[in-house]
A and B are shown apart, each in its own frame.
Chain A
């Protein structure tokens, strides 16, 4: 993957397939600690212990259309190649949490890329699921919670073009406030 935001999009889709109601995406960045941590947590159907071991294997997939499943292995690789770490925890009936931690200054660090676009597309394409996105840096943090938006919107759908435009601008403005000029 060219950007970590694409890995997020990919792995978040596993949550969608697991029939999650709420998907929490957290991107925590610290230049001081030279760390970037991405966490994707859901309240979907979860996996057995055996399945958790299997998803790390590229030759395991529940799909019938092809024989490989690279989503989780690629995400894991992206973290471990920077000297970071990767963890996936799951409990059947409770949900799954995937955490990838990166050493930002490492030469093999993949750029985060357009994470806002990923969040916007996830919201747009899965209006039945709630997303809680939190981004933090040394300069501060912000959260977008679609449950709060739905409260304001009432029966107006999240995928109304004007609402999506608002979401996009909201994400961009808040990101700029805490990223401090330097693009990631």
Chain B
């Protein structure tokens, strides 16, 4: 059974690393659209996939994942915006959990935008 004592142990372990995890102003941001339209289109598993993939690669200090509202392109949900400091913001559309590892690897790690998943590719 999960107990608060166990949580205390987690705190003590995390505290030791706390100095290393100071708020990083240069962190890249992943914004997942989680309004009614996004949620209905399946944004929740996408958000989970990003969190898991980023945790798996140990990138939680350099990439933050957050929810955002509706940006007005409901027909393309789930929509994910990726903001890497110093680079142009990229909007990925109709994102499925299977596409997430590639976005993390190619775009967030290696700075190559996955063009075929972007809104520019789908609108043509």
Binding site for B on A (CB under 8 A): 1-2, 6, 9-10, 13, 17, 63, 65-66, 69-71, 74, 117-118, 121, 124-125, 148-149, 152-156, 160-163, 166, 169-170, 173-174
Which A residues touch B2, using CB under 8 A?
166, 169-170, 173-174
Among A70, A125, A170, the residue within 8 A (CB) of B67 is: A125
Q: Is the CB of B7 within 8 A of A63?
A: no
Question: Does B111 touch A at the CB level, under 8 Å?
Answer: no
11 CB < 8 A contacts A-B? A17-B69, A65-B69, A65-B71, A70-B36, A71-B36, A74-B36, A117-B48, A125-B47, A156-B14, A156-B15, A169-B2
Q: Is the CB of A10 within 8 A of B11?
A: no
B33 to chain A, nearest CB (A): 10
A-B residue pair count with CB separations less than 8 angstroms: 83
Which A residues touch B40, using CB under 8 A?
1-2, 6, 74
Which B residues touch A166, using CB under 8 A?
2, 6-7, 10
Binary CB contact string for chain B from 108 to 119 against chain A (1 if under 8 A, 0 otherwise): 000000000000
A20 to chain B, nearest CB (A): 15
Q: Is the CB of B72 within 8 A of A162?
A: no
Which B residues touch A17, using CB under 8 A?
69
Q: Is the CB of B36 within 8 A of A124?
A: no
B16 to chain A, nearest CB (A): 10
Interface residues of B in 1-51 (CB under 8 A from A): 1-2, 4, 6-8, 10-11, 13-15, 18, 34-37, 39-40, 44, 47-48, 51
A164 to chain B, nearest CB (A): 8
